[in-house]
């Protein structure tokens, strides 16, 4: 092969025509040694193909030379043909003949190879030639040919779904899956059918049912009984299936776990993780066993982390990270495993730092913090920063922080820019939680010259402290004054905003010393080109003009210490990631809908617009999804009661007005939904939360009153209501929840609810339309809407049905909230009739 690409390009044309000539000469030759010369030539062609040179012009000659019994030559020829057939559909026709002939060869190897190549041509108008060879391939007495044929069916489906379905191939695969002796044939059938039925289920209810059936007891037991005969890769496939199975009782759960127990000792990390997923998901409803599972999988996962390549251990460590975050106390004695090694890549170190932070408790904090302090002097600066932040986070989650505060203050004295910067930000957060430490901290912070602090975040933190503790910091007004003097050189708007606020605060505490600086700051702020800075300056100015004491109560109100800082990720997002255990969601720390297109998520059938809505919500800096119309998904386990926590205002621009954020706002709707027969409290929780103190000041009252009329008029619904998904989304976002309830379903209803579609038609007959639905047993999710018969008033419903508990959870939003109770009654009666003859 030619390494010098320039040379190759220069000679490309002549080399290809040269090859063409030589191939022609050999095509008809029967001289001894011809095959060897052919091999050399074919190699040259394929080597050109690999480095990206277009050798498609040799197609005809290659096909001519393919008449040979030499299997190595055949394979090279197949490779070539597979590569170029798609772009040369006419020429591809030339190959059909010899491929079909080879499909009937004596040698099963050749039959298999030819069949694979035939199916890999990816040319739509040739599919008619595929059906025959595939049909006989599936019946071949050689298992190699059958494995190839099964995947061939899947290839055919992707080229022409109708041809595949018309030939009844899925049915044949199903039969093979349940009867073939060869486990690789069985595994390929499973892969192929899962793919085909999932794609088919959007249009065919039968396919949807077939796909659901894969998770039923007979299938799951059939696969489990043969688990050890499967290859390690196929075992992963089977266990993915088992993880979705819902056992009927606990003894079944224990049987499955006992059977799979030794898979945890497998050297293949993918098998161990797949087993772990089965264990975790089977025991979700058994709290104590679930915890034992954590204990059981700990050692095998740690072994996997330390035995594989760095890449494999990263994949496992990401999953361990997820588990540690869910149940830190279970891992608190294993903290030493999460110490960083100097030669680990930083993506591993970052995970470990987060794990160390999470597992810190009363008994191990001292050692963990000591270790983290070692990393703070690390040559790897990003990791040093992360380590300091980790120390800070531990301080914020611990009750006994004395020792940690000392360490942090030592960081401030280390005289490394980035260490000082990180430490300043931390001290600021620490003071917001533990104001009692102000004396100690201020003494040290006071010694830091603001000239030595360059990073905006750190500078903003320092300025905030200067404003907040100006009465204790002797030279605060003068430091602030000098900062105001250099206003034009300050490039960060964040810093300028903080400076404005700090000067205001300082002014109320030490007016005579600050008056000059305040005047200068307001003037500079009003002239600032940055909109926010300008607006804030103007706001302060007018506020002072209006009334100084009001201004003080606005800018400098008594503050409550922050008890818990807002989590960056909602518990619902975390649950979703946990449901998607053993997938990329865990590595990316995002649920799949945030990084995967709809068609690649597999089992969803939700309207596009609604899906995009959730994705769009994620584009901001904050990871909290603001809009809550979420994707329906396979499982919604354990997550529904925590849904409204994310409404906490903590996510709103905390850097902006960090000091006034009060983290203790209770979430009104976090009480168990079952207790709320009629919840009017829900509405206040859903109102746009006043995240900025300014909102309150402007006298805006966001709370929405939910008065109910004592006797709602009888409600009739418009049987032909229409609503486009865009409007649905918009309304769902705007309206508060006026009702959330839980109903029980009749056993008959549950039995009929095999696919979402069954319920849709039923509800439609009660004038309740569905706009989106999805999920699979036992969790289904629907979005319905309905319209009043005589007016335009719309009702929106989110309905989650769990078939194993026979419960449905309903959230109703309505244009006319006074009638939502009446609508709820209607909805319930419609739902309760589902499945009745």
Partner 1 sequence: MISQFFVLSQRGDNIVFRDYRGEVQKGSPETFFRKVKFWKEDADGDAPPVFNVDGVNYFHVKVAGLLFVATTRINVSPSLVLELLQRTARVIKDYLGVLNEDSFRKNFVLVYELLDEVIDFGYAQTTSTEVLKSYVFNEPIVIESALPLGPASIFMQGTKRMPGTAITKSVVANEPGGRKREEIFVDVIEKISVTFNSSGFILTSEIDGTIQMKSYLTGNPEIRLALNEDLSIGTSDYRGSGAVILDDCNFHESVHLDSFDIDRTLSLVPPDGEFPVMNYRITQAFKPPFRINALIEETGPLKAEVTIKVRAEFNSSINANTVLVQMPLPTFTARVNFELEPGAVGHTTDFKEANKRLEWGLKKVVGGSEHTLRAKLTFSQELHGNIMKEAGPLSMTFTIPMYNSSRLQVKYLQIAKKSKAHNPYRWVRYVTQANSYVARL
Phi, psi for residue 769 in degrees, rounded to 5? -100, 150
Q: Closer to partner 1 at the Cβ: 510 or 598? A: 598
Cβ at position 592, least distance to partner 1 in Å: 4
Cβ at position 312, least distance to partner 1 in Å: 5
Cβ at position 772, least distance to partner 1 in Å: 20
- Site for partner 1 contains 382 (CB under 8 A): yes
For partner 1, the binding residue among 221, 254, 339, 656 (CB under 8 A) is 339
- Site for partner 1 contains 310 (CB under 8 A): yes
Could you give the count of Cα atoms lying within 13 Å of 798 in the half-sphere of its Cβ?
21
For 156, 628, 739, 800, 811, the CA distances from 674, given in Å and listed in that order, are 50, 20, 12, 13, 12
Which span (388-396, 490-498, 576-584, 669-677) binds partner 1, by CB under 8 A? 576-584
Phi, psi for residue 774 in degrees, rounded to 5? 175, -170
Tallying the residues shown for the chain, one arrives at: 837
Which span (22-30, 372-380, 481-489, 511-519) binds partner 1, by CB under 8 A? 372-380
Q: Closer to partner 1 at the Cβ: 498 or 601? A: 601
- Site for partner 1 contains 296 (CB under 8 A): no
- Site for partner 1 contains 584 (CB under 8 A): yes
Instruction: Give buried/exposed letters for 71-110 (b at 16+ CB in 10 A, else e).
Output: eebbebbbbbbbebbeebeebbebbbebbbebbeeeebeb
Q: Closer to partner 1 at the Cβ: 587 or 723? A: 587
Q: Closer to partner 1 at the Cβ: 565 or 595? A: 595
- Site for partner 1 contains 341 (CB under 8 A): yes
Q: Six-digit token pair at 769?
A: 């339309």
For 248, 616, 759, the CA distances from 778, given in Å and listed in that order, are 12, 28, 14
- Site for partner 1 contains 233 (CB under 8 A): yes
- Site for partner 1 contains 662 (CB under 8 A): no
For partner 1, the binding residue among 232, 261, 485, 724 (CB under 8 A) is 232
Distance CA 485, CA 664 (A): 38
- Site for partner 1 contains 316 (CB under 8 A): yes
- Site for partner 1 contains 565 (CB under 8 A): no
Strands 807-814 and 739-744: antiparallel
Cβ at position 144, least distance to partner 1 in Å: 7
- Site for partner 1 contains 308 (CB under 8 A): yes
Which residues touch 105 (CB under 8 Å, ≥6 apart)? 111, 114
Cβ at position 86, least distance to partner 1 in Å: 7
Q: Six-digit token pair at 682?
A: 């829900």
- Residues 437-496 binding partner 1 (CB under 8 A) are none
Nearest to 147 by CA among 109, 107, 184, 99: 184
- Site for partner 1 contains 71 (CB under 8 A): yes
Do residues 745 and 831 make contact, with C-beta atoms less than 8 angstroms apart? yes
- Site for partner 1 contains 670 (CB under 8 A): no
Cβ at position 20, least distance to partner 1 in Å: 20
Nearest to 439 by CA among 471, 464, 415: 471
CA angle 448, 450, 452 (to 5 degrees): 80
The DSSP result for 92-155, as a single string, is HHHHHHHHHHHTT-SSHHHHHHHHHHHHTS--GGGTHHHHHHHHHHHH-SSHHHHHHHHHHHHH
Distance CA 145, CA 185 (A): 9
Which span (28-36, 140-148, 397-405, 762-770) binds partner 1, by CB under 8 A? 140-148
- Site for partner 1 contains 415 (CB under 8 A): yes
- Site for partner 1 contains 139 (CB under 8 A): no
Distance CA 73, CA 466 (A): 79
- Site for partner 1 contains 9 (CB under 8 A): no
Which span (243-251, 262-270, 322-330, 718-726) binds partner 1, by CB under 8 A? 262-270
Kindly state the DSSP code that residue 801 receives in the 8-state scheme.
E
Q: Closer to partner 1 at the Cβ: 296 or 833? A: 296
For partner 1, the binding residue among 51, 67, 87, 527 (CB under 8 A) is 51
Q: Closer to partner 1 at the Cβ: 341 or 549? A: 341
Do residues 632 and 775 make contact, with C-beta atoms less than 8 angstroms apart? yes
Nearest to 349 by CA among 325, 322, 385, 324: 385
- Site for partner 1 contains 775 (CB under 8 A): no
For partner 1, the binding residue among 54, 128, 168, 374 (CB under 8 A) is 374
Cβ at position 97, least distance to partner 1 in Å: 22
For partner 1, the binding residue among 8, 93, 131, 151 (CB under 8 A) is 151
- Site for partner 1 contains 407 (CB under 8 A): no
Do residues 186 and 143 make contact, with C-beta atoms less than 8 angstroms apart? no
Do residues 118 and 133 make contact, with C-beta atoms less than 8 angstroms apart? yes
Which span (477-485, 590-598, 695-703, 752-760) binds partner 1, by CB under 8 A? 590-598
Distance CA 656, CA 649 (A): 13
For partner 1, the binding residue among 211, 281, 319, 321 (CB under 8 A) is 319
- Site for partner 1 contains 597 (CB under 8 A): yes
Q: Closer to partner 1 at the Cβ: 232 or 406? A: 232
- Site for partner 1 contains 342 (CB under 8 A): yes
For partner 1, the binding residue among 269, 467, 477, 682 (CB under 8 A) is 269
Cβ at position 82, least distance to partner 1 in Å: 9
# residues contacting partner 1 (CB under 8 A): 92
- Residues 681-740 binding partner 1 (CB under 8 A) are none
Nearest to 258 by CA among 234, 294, 282, 285: 282
- Site for partner 1 contains 538 (CB under 8 A): no
3-state secondary structure of 814: strand
Cβ at position 407, least distance to partner 1 in Å: 13
- Site for partner 1 contains 755 (CB under 8 A): no
For partner 1, the binding residue among 306, 547, 616, 730 (CB under 8 A) is 306
For partner 1, the binding residue among 274, 425, 460, 617 (CB under 8 A) is 274
- Site for partner 1 contains 420 (CB under 8 A): no
- Site for partner 1 contains 265 (CB under 8 A): yes
For partner 1, the binding residue among 34, 95, 172, 318 (CB under 8 A) is 318
- Site for partner 1 contains 311 (CB under 8 A): yes
Distance CA 116, CA 104 (A): 13
- Site for partner 1 contains 312 (CB under 8 A): yes
3-state secondary structure of 667: coil
- Site for partner 1 contains 595 (CB under 8 A): yes
- Site for partner 1 contains 792 (CB under 8 A): no
3-state secondary structure of 739: strand
- Site for partner 1 contains 198 (CB under 8 A): no
Task: Name the β-bridge partners of 739.
Answer: 812
Cβ at position 711, least distance to partner 1 in Å: 51
Classify the phi-psi angles of 54: left when phi > 0, otherwise alpha if psi is within -120 to 50, otherwise beta. beta
The DSSP result for 743-785, as a single string, is EE--HHHHHH-SSHHHHHHHHHTTT-EEEEEEEETTEEEEEEE
Q: Closer to partner 1 at the Cβ: 7 or 702? A: 7
Q: Six-digit token pair at 15?
A: 């080399």
- Residues 99-138 binding partner 1 (CB under 8 A) are 109, 116, 122
For partner 1, the binding residue among 48, 95, 172, 184 (CB under 8 A) is 184
């Amino acid at each position: 092969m030619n390494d010098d690409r320039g040379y190759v390009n220069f000679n490309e044309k002549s080399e290809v025509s040269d090859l063409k000539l030589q191939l022609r000469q050999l095509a008809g030759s029967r001289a001894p040694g011809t095959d060897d010369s052919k091999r050399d030539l074919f190699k040259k062609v394929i080597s050109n193909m690999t480095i990206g040179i277009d050798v498609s012009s040799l197609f005809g000659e290659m096909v001519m030379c393919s008449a040979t019994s030499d299997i190595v030559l055949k394979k090279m020829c197949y490779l070539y043909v597979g590569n170029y057939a798609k772009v040369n559909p006419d020429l591809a026709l030339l190959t059909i003949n010899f491929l079909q002939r080879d499909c009937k060869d004596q040698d099963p190897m050749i039959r298999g190879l030819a069949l694979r190549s035939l199916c890999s041509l990816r040319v739509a108008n040739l599919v008619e030639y595929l059906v025959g060879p595939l049909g006989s391939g599936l019946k071949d007495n050689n298992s190699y040919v059958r494995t190839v044929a099964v995947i061939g069916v899947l290839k055919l489906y992707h080229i022409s779904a109708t041809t595949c379905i018309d030939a009844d191939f899925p049915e044949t695969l199903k039969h093979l899956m349940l009867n073939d002796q060869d486990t690789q044939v069985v595994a390929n059938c499973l892969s192929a059918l899962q793919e085909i039925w999932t794609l088919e289920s959007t249009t065919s209810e039968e396919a949807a049912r077939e796909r659901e059936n894969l998770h039923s007891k007979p299938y799951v037991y059939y696969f489990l009984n043969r688990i050890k005969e499967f290859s390690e890769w196929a075992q992963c496939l089977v266990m993915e299936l088992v993880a979705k199975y819902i056992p009927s009782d606990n003894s079944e759960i224990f049987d499955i776990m006992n059977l799979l127990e030794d898979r945890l000792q497998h050297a293949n990390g993918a098998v161990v993780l797949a087993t772990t997923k089965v264990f975790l998901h089977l025991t979700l409803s058994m709290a104590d066993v679930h915890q034992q599972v954590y204990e059981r999988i700990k050692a095998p996962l740690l072994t996997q982390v330390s035995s594989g390549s760095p890449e494999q251990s990263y994949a496992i460590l990401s999953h361990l990270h997820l588990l540690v975050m869910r149940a830190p106390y279970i891992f608190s004695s294993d903290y030493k495993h999460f110490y960083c090694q100097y030669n680990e890549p930083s993506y591993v170190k970052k995970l470990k730092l987060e794990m160390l932070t999470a597992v810190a408790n009363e008994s191990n904090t001292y050692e963990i913090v000591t270790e983290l302090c070692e990393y703070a002097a690390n040559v790897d600066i990003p990791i040093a920063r992360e380590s300091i932040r980790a120390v800070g986070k531990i301080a914020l989650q611990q009750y006994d922080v004395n020792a940690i505060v000392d360490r942090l203050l030592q960081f401030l004295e280390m005289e490394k820019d980035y260490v000082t910067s990180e430490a300043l930000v931390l001290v600021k957060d620490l003071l917001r939680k533990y104001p009692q430490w102000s004396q100690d901290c201020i003494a040290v912070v006071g010694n830091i010259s603001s000239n030595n602090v360059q990073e905006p975040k750190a500078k903003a933190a320092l300025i905030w402290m200067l404003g907040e503790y100006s009465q204790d910091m002797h030279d605060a007004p003068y430091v602030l004054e000098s900062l105001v003097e250099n206003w034009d050189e300050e490039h960060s708007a964040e810093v300028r905003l903080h400076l404005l606020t700090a000067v205001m605060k300082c002014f109320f505490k030490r007016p005579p010393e600050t008056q000059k600086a305040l005047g200068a700051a307001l003037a500079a702020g009003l002239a600032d080109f940055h909109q926010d800075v300008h607006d804030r300056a103007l706001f302060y100015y007018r506020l002072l003009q209006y009334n100084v004491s009001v201004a003080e109560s606005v800018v400098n109100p008594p503050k409550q210490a922050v008890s818990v800082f807002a989590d960056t990720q909602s518990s619902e997002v975390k649950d979703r990631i946990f449901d998607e255990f053993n997938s990329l969601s865990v590595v990316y720390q995002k649920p799949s809908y945030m990084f995967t297109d709809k068609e690649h998520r597999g089992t969803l059938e939700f309207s596009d617009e609604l899906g995009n809505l959730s994705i769009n919500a994620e584009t901001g800096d904050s990871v909290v999804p603001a809009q809550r119309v979420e994707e329906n998904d396979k499982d919604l386990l354990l997550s529904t009661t925590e849904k409204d926590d994310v409404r906490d205002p903590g996510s709103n621009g905390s850097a902006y007005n960090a000091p006034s954020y009060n983290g203790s706002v209770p979430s009104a709707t976090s009480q168990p939904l079952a207790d709320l027969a009629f919840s009017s409290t829900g509405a206040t929780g859903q109102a746009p939360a006043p995240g900025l103190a300014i909102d309150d000041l402007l006298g805006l009252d966001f709370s929405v009153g939910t008065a109910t009329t004592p006797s709602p008029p009888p409600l009739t619904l418009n049987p032909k209501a229409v609503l486009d998904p865009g409007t649905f989304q918009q309304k769902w976002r705007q309206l508060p929840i006026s009702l959330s309830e839980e109903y029980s379903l009749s056993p008959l209803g549950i039995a009929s609810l095999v696919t979402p579609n069954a319920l849709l038609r039923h509800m439609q007959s009660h004038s309740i339309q569905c706009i989106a639905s999805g999920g699979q047993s036992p969790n289904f999710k629907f979005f319905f809407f309905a319209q009043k018969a005589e007016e335009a008033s719309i009702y929106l419903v989110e309905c989650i049905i769990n078939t194993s508990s026979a419960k449905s959870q309903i959230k109703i939003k309505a244009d006319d909230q006074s009638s939502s109770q009446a609508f709820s009654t209607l909805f319930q009666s419609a739902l309760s009739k589902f499945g009745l003859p």
